Amino acid sequence: MSGAENSHSTLYAQCRAADGQMIPGRDFRALWAAYTISIVGDWAYRLAIPLVVYDLTRSPFLMSLSYAATFAPFIIVMPFGGVLADAVDRKRLLWIADFISGCIALAICLYLSLPGANAYWLMPGLAVLGAISSISHPAFQGFLPSTVPAQHLSRANSLITTSDSVLNLVAPAIGGSLVALLGAYNVLWLNAASFFLSMALILVIRAQNPVGDGALALSVSSIFHGLGQGLKTAMHYPIIKWGTLLFILVNFSSHLILGNIIYFLTRDIGLGPELAGLALGLSAIGAIIGSLMAPKLMQRVHPGRLMLACVFVSAIGTATLLLAEHLGFWGVVCARSITMAAEAVIVVTMFTERQRVVPTQYLSRVVAITRTISYVPVPLAATLGGYILAAQAGDMSMVILLSMVVLIGCVVIGVFTPFVSADDEKETRMDTTASV
């Protein structure tokens, strides 16, 4: 082994060893706080908007359309958002995105305060907010490594994922309480304020993250060329290429069930709506535990092997749902907690490895491209799960079994790929260091 290779291996070992320590520095704390505030605002917004639309129209279809108007841009815009985040200063992009989103949210609130407000005119504003969010995510992922030392990346991603998990546990209740206390219309004003507060926190961050790829220009040809480079970069590294395939299969398996989970809990298990919501909320405890355990596990286990092991654990959690009719409420909580803990470890590991191996000038677009690819099967899975459920006269067993088969198949495929090869992974990291 050459001196350069040995020093890189030593640095990587130090990074692993230091991952469990607390993260120093105000920059990451400010970014973490901005992210958390944004998530709280998003939860309140997601609860309030459908209620506002229904109040204006009395149409369940338009309630669904308001959700689609927010979600669709993620698939359509995010790859281009990744290129944009690599072409400009990511910190600047983040605070500008928050400022524009805050202004649009304020405009929506002001429009709704007018007599005769029409729900149809809300849809373009909702779509623009979704599009800006799909730009902010890759910019955030690309900027995060600038706010912490390299050896603390897994701990940083663990804290971010833990925030998601905790908020999935408590934010629906907080958002629902705010809607009940203040009314859906007034909650939208709080959402607008959350964007400006997030912007202020980002502005106090001292870390700089200059243009990632100076070769990119804001032109149609350059953007599409940049997308091609991002895809080529993602497919060059085994941990990214096979990890993206893993996410496709895990998301497909997960949303086979999640797309029909409320039906399963209320009709098959016999839980009331309140208990069904409580079961899903308590399951997020598993995600919190998984997020906090991930840095320690990453110190001891090769990342590819760790993720495949977690896929297998997720299959066990999914299988436990077959017993839920006999185990009742706590059976559902246990099954979903196991699955969500495993998925949280996968997310922290994948995010950390992606930030470590991908050259910084390509990071945002690789994040955007891989995230978009992994989310494409989500609507297909939910639709297929509903079709199987209808064909089986409301029996969820076949949906659960198919989800298990997909997860186990993912493990079997992964064992025979470079995803689990330590030597290939080391070579990938050395290539990455050279390219930077």
Q: Are both 178 and 45 inside the same structural domain?
A: yes
**Secondary structure string (H, E, C) spanning 360-412:** HHHHHHHHHHHHHHHHCHHHHHHHHHHHHHHHCCCCCHHHHHHHHHHHHHHHH
pLDDT single digits (tens) 23-43? 557 888 899 899 888 877 877
- pLDDT exceeds cutoff 80 at 220: no
Query: What is the band of 67 on the pLDDT scale with cuts at 50, 70, 90?
Result: low
Residues 6+ apart with CB under 8 A from 193: 41, 102
- Say if 156 falls within a structural domain: yes
Mean pLDDT, rounded, for 158-187: 73
Residues 6+ apart with CB under 8 A from 81: 131, 134, 135, 136, 137, 138, 139, 364, 368
pLDDT single digits (tens) 384-406? 777 787 787 777 888 889 999 99
Mean pLDDT of the chain: 78
Other residues' Cβ atoms within 10 Å of the Cβ of residue 397: 14
Q: Whole-angstrom Cα distance, residue 148 to residue 137?
A: 18
Q: Are both 351 and 417 inside the same structural domain?
A: yes
Q: Are both 298 and 434 inside the same structural domain?
A: yes
pLDDT single digits (tens) 295-317? 889 888 888 889 999 999 999 99
Q: Are both 298 and 416 inside the same structural domain?
A: yes
Total domain count for the chain? 2
- Say if 113 falls within a structural domain: yes
Q: What is the pTM for the complete model shown?
A: 0.65
CATH number at 350 reads: 1.20.1250.20
pLDDT single digits (tens) 265-294? 777 777 775 677 677 778 878 888 988 898
The pLDDT, as a whole number, for residue 214 is 58
Mean pLDDT, rounded, for 419-425: 57
Instruction: Decide which of 169, 192, 209 is a domain's last residue.
Output: 209
Residue numbers of the domain that contains 187 = 18-209
Q: Are both 257 and 349 inside the same structural domain?
A: yes
- pLDDT exceeds cutoff 70 at 422: no
pLDDT single digits (tens) 327-369? 788 888 888 899 989 988 988 888 888 888 888 777 778 888 8
Secondary element (H or E) of residue 236: helix 220-236
Helix, strand and coil content of the chain, in percent to the nearest 5, comes to 85, 0, 15
